Structure 1
Amino acid sequence: MTQQQQPTPPSTNISLGLLVLDIIGMALVVFAGYEIYLINEKNSGVLAEYISWPHYPWIIMGIGVVLMIPFHKQIFSLFRKVKQYQKELAEKNRPDF
């Protein structure tokens, strides 16, 4: 009987900096959504007095989404590693007939 090497589980090294960027990005998206609501419903936003261009909330929302991308790429990469580990573990634990 041959000794098979145990697959190593993937490391869960989630970057704290990317998590902070994700939280800031989410806050910007929520703020931009609220700003769009205020502009459409009450014709005045929080920043409307300071910024004359009417589409500025969409730029804020885009910046928020861009800030969220690196963290989500890291999460999806970790997800792929976990799925690969599960596949290797299933192949190792498959009975020999």
Structure 2
Amino acid sequence: MTDKQTPTPPTANISLWWLLLDIIGMALVVLAGYEIYLINEKNAGMLAEYFSWPHYPWVIMGVGVLCMLPFHKQVFALFRKVKQYQKELAKKDRPDF
């Protein structure tokens, strides 16, 4: 019989700073969406008097999405580690014939 080692579970090392940046990014995306709504429905946005370029909400939305990327990258990397761990556990638990 072969001796199989137990795989070590992955650790969740998600940064609090990336989470805060993700929250800021979500707020920017919501603000930009509301600004787009106001411009299309009422022809006046909250920030329209400060920006002369008509497509500024899309830039705000893009910045918000860029702020969210590092946190989601960490979450997806952890997801890949968990899936690999599950595969290793399944391989370890297979019976030897």
Q: TM-score range by the shorter chain?
A: over 0.9
Structure 1 position 96, deviation (Å): 1.1
- Which stretches of structure 1, 4 residues or more, deviate above 2 A after TM superposition? none
User: Per-residue displacement from partner, 1:3-48 (whole Å, max 9, x unpaired)?
Assistant: 2111000001111000000000000000000000000100100100
TM-score, normalised to structure 2's length?
A: 0.97
The number of equivalent residue pairs is 97
For residues 1-97 of structure 1, the aligned pairs below 5 Å read 1-97=1-97
Consecutive unaligned residues in structure 1, runs of 5 or more = none
**Is there any run of 5+ residues in structure 2 with no aligned partner, and where?**
none
Superposition RMSD in Å: 0.7
